[in-house]
Amino acid sequence: MSRSASGDDYLLVKRGGRPMATDVSVAISASREQAGAASVAADACMDWFDEVDASLSRFRPDSELSRLNRAANHWFAASALLYGAVTVAMKSAHASDGHFDPTLLRRIQALGYDRDFDEIARREIAPASGMAPPVPVAPRAWRAIEIDPVRRRIRLPEHVQLDLGGIAKGWSADVALHRFCLPFSGALINVGGDLRANGGPVPGEGWSVGIRDPRRELATGEGSSPGADHVAILTFSRGGLATSGAVRRWWLRDGKRTHHLLDPRTGNPIELWIDQDTVPDTPEAAPLIATATALAPTAARAEVAAKVALLRGYPQALRQVEKAWERPISLSTPQDADVAVALVLTFGTGEIAMSGNLPAYLATWGTQGVTLPAFSQFTDGDLA
């Protein structure tokens, strides 16, 4: 527990660890009278992330997700945790028209990501021994997944397996904030770089978050330190923020750099800045994105939006969220992945490009207590 830099009235209760094989931290701002309750809430958050890891890890053969994948073509009675995560993943697939696809597990395993990332990072690898050849999955297989909300059951089509790694971090941060942190003046939950915020370190202030310079991360293979290694600083007090890119998370297959961000249309890794030397250099070619940072009402939506931005590329990714911001929204309009989203893109030069609606986003969705646009009546579940 540490004292807030702004005075003696509020304390920051902090917890941290690696319960989901990634860096996880919880910071809760509370009055001195609430310090004990905040400590209990912070511990509960970390216990929740342990629970998520045990249930949703694809690297644990005994996890509930692994058991669901083995039960393909049969109805599977799911826990509330698994059902919630799969439901949000399915909503995200529909909202993004398949740009986000949670059914690519067999393909990513075939490319070499068939074990914990620490075992393959930045090295030449071969497929795990005894692994069966991948079975081709029909395009847009996520449309055939069946969800039974009455009995809380899930049925995957034959040969379809789920990987929730593209949304579980953000979703679990959203759940943790709503379940444990709302009674306090502020909270910031960080699950592997996917953030969910409410309030600030003291009332009236926001959380400042730096966007890292991709050049340093590529050169060192590590995250940057505060200060000069950031190409931008964002301050917000409501909603989610997520960054996606393969600056550090890559491995080698037959000497070729490979990463985990796949194009659902081809099943192959999308082109990123780290592969710039393999892309034909033409005058009309747009620069490749190094990282995409998305801000959205929830961390789950931000996580999906960042991946969609990488798939669309520059400048199309910016144009899409700008158009969605200007489009009238009503409560009867089905949601799409571009609604209430702003973007910051980084490039290999260290330059950045921001969507034109970023200031408006930070002044509305990104600021606690400010009146939201008309579509703000949607719940977190609707916006996921």
Taking a C-beta distance cutoff of 8 angstroms, is the pair 52, 65 a contact? no
Statement to judge: residues 248 and 369 lie in one domain: yes
If asked whether residues 222 and 315 sit together in one domain, one would say yes
- pLDDT tens column, 79-114: 999 999 999 999 999 999 999 999 998 887 777 666
Q: Are 137 and 217 within one domain?
A: no
Helix (H) or strand (E) holding 363: helix 358-363
Neighbours of 365 (CB within 10 A): 22
Strand pairing partners for 26?
A: 15, 189
In a domain, 318, yes or no: yes
Query: CA 147 to CA 153: how far, in whole Å?
Result: 6
Three-state DSSP class for residue 33: helix
Query: Do 151 and 251 share a domain, yes or no?
Result: no
The CATH number given to whatever domain includes residue 144 is: 1.10.3980.10
- Phi and psi (nearest 5°) for 327? -75, 130
Confidence of residue 329 (pLDDT cuts 50, 70, 90): low
Q: Beginning with the edge strand found earlier in the chain, give each strand of the sheet holding 75-77 in spatial order.
A: 75-77, 153-155, 146-148
How far is the C-alpha of 229 from the C-alpha of 218, rounded, in Å? 12
What rounded mean pLDDT belongs to the chain? 84
More confident residue, 118 or 235: 235
Average pLDDT over residues 25-49: 97
The residue behind tokens 């509370």 is 30
Contact between 46 and 26 under an 8 Å Cβ cutoff? The reply is yes
The partner residues of 296 in beta bridges, in order of sequence, read 240
Residues 263 and 367 in one domain: yes
Domain presence at residue 195: no
What is the CATH classification number for the domain harbouring 278?
A: 3.10.520
Query: Is residue 124 within 8 Å of 253, Cβ to Cβ?
Result: yes
Spatial contact of 384 and 300, defined as CB atoms under 8 Å apart: yes
For 297, list phi and psi in degrees, rounded to 5: -60, -25
Distance CA 63, CA 296 (A): 30
Nearest to 55 by CA among 26, 75, 84: 84
Look at residue 144 and tell me if it is in a domain.
Answer: yes
**Minimal CA–CA distance to 165: which of 92, 81, 105, 125?**
105
Nearest by Cα to 305 from 104, 99, 70, 165:
99
One-letter-per-residue 3-state SS of 285-321? CCCCEEEEEEEECCHHHHHHHHHHHHHHCCCHHHHHH
Task: Tell me the residue range of the domain where 130 lies.
Answer: 59-155
Query: Which residue type, as a one-letter code, is found at position 279?
Result: V
Average pLDDT of the segment spanning 67-72: 97
What domain count does the chain have? 2
pLDDT digit string, tens, across residues 121-161: 666 676 554 454 555 556 789 999 999 999 999 999 999 99
